[in-house]
Amino acid sequence: MSKPLEGKIGLVVGVANKRSIAWGIAKAWKEAGATLAFTYQGERLKGNVEQLVGEFGEDTILLPCDVTQDAEIDTVFSEIKSRFGKLDLLLHAVAFAPKEALEGDFVNTSREAFRVAHDVSAYSLVALSRAAAPLMTDGGSIVAMSYYGAEKVVPHYNVMGVAKAALEASARYLAYDLGEQKIRVNCISAGPVNTLAARGISGFTAMLKHYEAHSPMKRNVTHEELGATAVFLASEGGAAITGQTLYVDCGYEIMGMYS
């Protein structure tokens, strides 16, 4: 097995449990040779993430980070600086909208639900990238997770679709700002994956079945495939790719009419 990320330091934001997309990508980055730091959101998830990260060995660090708190973001990056001295990779795999905003009609989205969804799911990429950039002294690769609902209407995805559109646009503006520093910023738009965030969304199982029936590849994307894409983006293969949204969805996005 080749180690395209040997000697690279990465920060992974968004692991909640072993089904998290962030965990799938972390495993792939580690397999490719990277040394990783992780954050967890709140005491509720600390135990989970601690147990998972235990597999990663001594050089891994785990830090609390609520991405809506600038002070917590600052602490994360000063810890990374003192422990590793630099950063090469950043994974953003966090999103949240209040549950009621994902249930009714988009037209009824409250000002507060709109604000929270954009703060957690989109602004956090800007804040994390700004803090990461000074540590990315040899350039870097920033990867954020998105979804088709950013581009087309997916019923009930509602304000999350608007926030993902903001995330993808933010990735383009960040790519422009950070390009000369050899820092690339891209989104992976994943097909649906059965995670903690997806569970409790009514009709989610039907959505997985829909992709299975109608995507060109007639199946759903795996954690391993998302991990392999993130390795590609972080390594030489991605060296001239920035500001893009890559659909990793078994081809679903290309379809116009389903048969």
Binding site for ligand 0WE (CB under 6 A): 95-97, 99, 102, 147, 154, 156-157, 160, 192, 197-198, 200-201, 207
Among 40, 147, 211, 252, the one annotated catalytic: 147
Instruction: Give Rg (Cα) of the chain.
Output: 17
- Output the DSSP codes for 79-127: HHHHHHS---EEEE------GGGGTS-GGG--HHHHHHHHIIIIIHHHH
Note if 157 is an active site residue. yes
Nearer to ligand 0WE, 88 or 249 (CB): 249
Note if 176 is an active site residue. no
Element housing 153 (H / E): none
Two structure tokens written together for 175: 């790519």
Nearer to ligand 0WE, 160 or 226 (CB): 160
- To the nearest 10 degrees (0 to 180), the angle between helices 21-31 and 223-234 is 50
Q: Which residues pair with 38 in a beta bridge?
A: 12, 62
Least Å distance between CB 236 and ligand 0WE? 29
Least Å distance between CB 230 and ligand 0WE? 16
Q: Is 208 helix (H, G, I), strand (E, B) or coil?
A: helix
Nearer to ligand 0WE, 33 or 98 (CB): 98
Least Å distance between CB 248 and ligand 0WE? 12
Nearer to ligand 0WE, 147 or 247 (CB): 147
Beta strands 140-146 and 35-40 are: unpaired
Contacts of residue 218, Cβ cutoff 8 Å, sequence gap at least 6: 212, 250
Least Å distance between CB 101 and ligand 0WE? 8
Among 148, 157, 211, 252, the one annotated catalytic: 157
Residues with a known catalytic role: 147, 157
